[in-house]
Amino acid sequence: MTKKLLFQFDTDPTPSVFDVVVGYDGGADHIHGYGGVTPENVGAYVDGTIYTRGGSEKKSTAIFVGGGDMAAGEAVFDAVKKRFFGPFRVSTMLDSNGSNTTAAAGVALAVKAAGGDIKGKKAVILAGTGPVGMRSAAMLGKEGATVAIVGRALDKAQKSADAIEKRFGIKVEAIEAKSGEDRAKAVAGSNLVFSAGAIGLELLAEDVWKSESSIEIVVDYNAQPPLGIGGIDAMDKGKERHGKLAIGALGLGGLKLKLHRTLIGKLFEAADQSFDADEIYALAKEMA
């Protein structure tokens, strides 16, 4: 039987152990990781995957692009796909920093909690300039929500908003918020609030979202205390708190892991599949 080989192209110096574990759990028979992968050096690696097997055996080779930098991952992912031609291709997946699968799980569960429709809703993403926040913004925008991303510096927030519009065609508002008071003002009048900040920083106090009548759903991507949104629990999965629905990092983490594993399995179903934000989010909605 032809072995299922997953080649992990990581933009960081060392390939992610997390991605290796999930890759095996998703059905790969063998994973070989390369660190320090760039658009300039990835060509030789890709050639090794597309020229060695033919016919039905080709679907048993796949490529996973990861690393901590989504912009770098996107550049490598594009370079990989440009190397393909005709039947000389294998299935590919992009999930730098777990951004696609994490954001897809969070947004899919939020949409489900909202009854399946967030068109016209106002969504605010605190610390939204990172990869998870930016991917969440795009997915929320595609669902018809009006989206704003909040960052400590307006120029960085605007740069992220411009990148989202360029990549996904979604117009996003950029908001500067340097303090807790600023963030409270940023979420005023919003319906969905996401927190995508770094570990160890509470971005929104419980009293703020508790008293904001417009807020319907809060989602926090941080599992380590103190959580990004005060007053919720990391295990929350649509739990009602103060008349609103709360989703915590571990509450959405189950879907994120199932999604990641399922996508690895799908890589080996055919030789021409490509999984980036849109495809990953579509599957997350089905699985949610």
Nearest to 180 by CA among 213, 119, 139, 226: 226
Query: For residue 246, which phi and psi values (nearest 5 degrees)?
Result: -115, 140
Per DSSP, the residues of 50-74 read: HSS--GGGGGGEEEEEE-S-HHHHH
Encoding tokens for residue 7? Answer: 């080649």
Instruction: Dump pLDDT digits (tens) for 88-120.
Output: 999 999 999 999 999 999 999 999 999 999 999
Judge contact between 65 and 75, C-beta under 8 A: no
Q: What is the pLDDT of residue 1?
A: 81
Beta strands in the chain (DSSP E): 5-10, 30-34, 61-66, 91-94, 122-126, 146-151, 172-176, 192-195, 217-220, 237-241, 244-247, 274-275
- Write down the pLDDT at residue 132: 96
Averaged pLDDT score across all residues of the chain: 97
Confidence (pLDDT) at 200: 87
The tens digit of pLDDT for each residue in 157-212 reads 999 999 999 999 999 999 999 999 999 999 999 999 999 999 989 999 999 999 99
Dump pLDDT digits (tens) for 33-63: 999 999 999 999 999 999 999 999 999 999 9
pTM of the model: 0.96
Residue with tokens 């009854």: 115
Question: CA-CA distance, 174 to 165, in Å (whole number)?
Answer: 12
